[in-house]
Amino acid sequence: MNAEQRKAWNEDHKHLTAMILIPNEHKESVSLLLRLRAQLYAAEGEANGPFGYEDLLLKDTREETMRCYPVQSPDTRNSIVWHLWHSARIEDITMNMLVAGTGQVLDTDGMPQELNIRFLHSGNEMTEEEMTELSAEIGIEGLLAYRRAVGRRTNEIITSLEPGQFRQKVDPGRIKAVREQGAVTEKAGWLTDYWSGKTIGGLMLMPATRHNFVHLNKAMRIKSKLQRRR
């Protein structure tokens, strides 16, 4: 995304924010929500598919650039792979456990092995040593497959929602399950407290859209800075 496209995305997101809790606007909200999300993901090999923000991030990006940690960027020290993994983990947890009340995509057979890391939580409050380990060891192909599987599953959840459901508050029992299953660490308990005050529509506005957008922006700035050094 160039600056003009990012500005347009933000304007559309403001429009979504204004209408997502209005039941009579449900159909339009779903349509815009899916369109905003489509702009963030790769085209997944479709010959005439849209060229998404993920495509731009990955285009001509070396593995060493993806894994570089720590980075010297104004708003992050974290690696590109961490930003992709963390945003996918947050989306997986919130959309599946909190919105749909189902198991995570991470629980799919073979997914943890493909990721090749021991971390099963959201990635918040990680130590320097843990960040170094994840950045060096995560399987990049597994990571991209996980991210795209999470994206597809979220779209299924979105299209299954009925008018009025965006207004519903997050079920406290589902928040409890997130804590009990270790999807969020005890040290990052502030995150589940934050989610507890959200509606389903609120989760769509942040983890399912803007959170992903923010981390792609950070990853793109890292890529640009590292490439300028070469």
| Burial of 213: CB neighbours in 10 Å, binned 0-12, 13-18, 19+ | buried
Cβ neighbours for 30, distance < 8 A, ≥ 6 positions apart: 158, 159, 161
Contact 177, 97 (CB under 8 A): yes
Global pTM?
0.94
Q: Which residues pair with 76 in a beta bridge?
A: 73
pLDDT of residue 47: 41
Q: Which residues pair with 148 in a beta bridge?
A: none
Give the CA angle between residues 207, 77, 211 to the nearest 5°.
10
Chain centre to alpha carbon of residue 23: 25
Mean pLDDT of 30-45: 89
Cβ neighbours for 119, distance < 8 A, ≥ 6 positions apart: 126, 130, 134
pLDDT band at 174 (very low <50, low <70, confident <90, very high): very high
Domain boundaries, the chain: 3-228
* Whether the predicted pLDDT of 48 surpasses 50: no
Question: Tell me, what DSSP letter sits at residue 74?
Answer: T
Phi-psi region of 227 (alpha: psi -120 to 50; beta: other; left: phi over 0): alpha
pLDDT band at 51 (very low <50, low <70, confident <90, very high): low
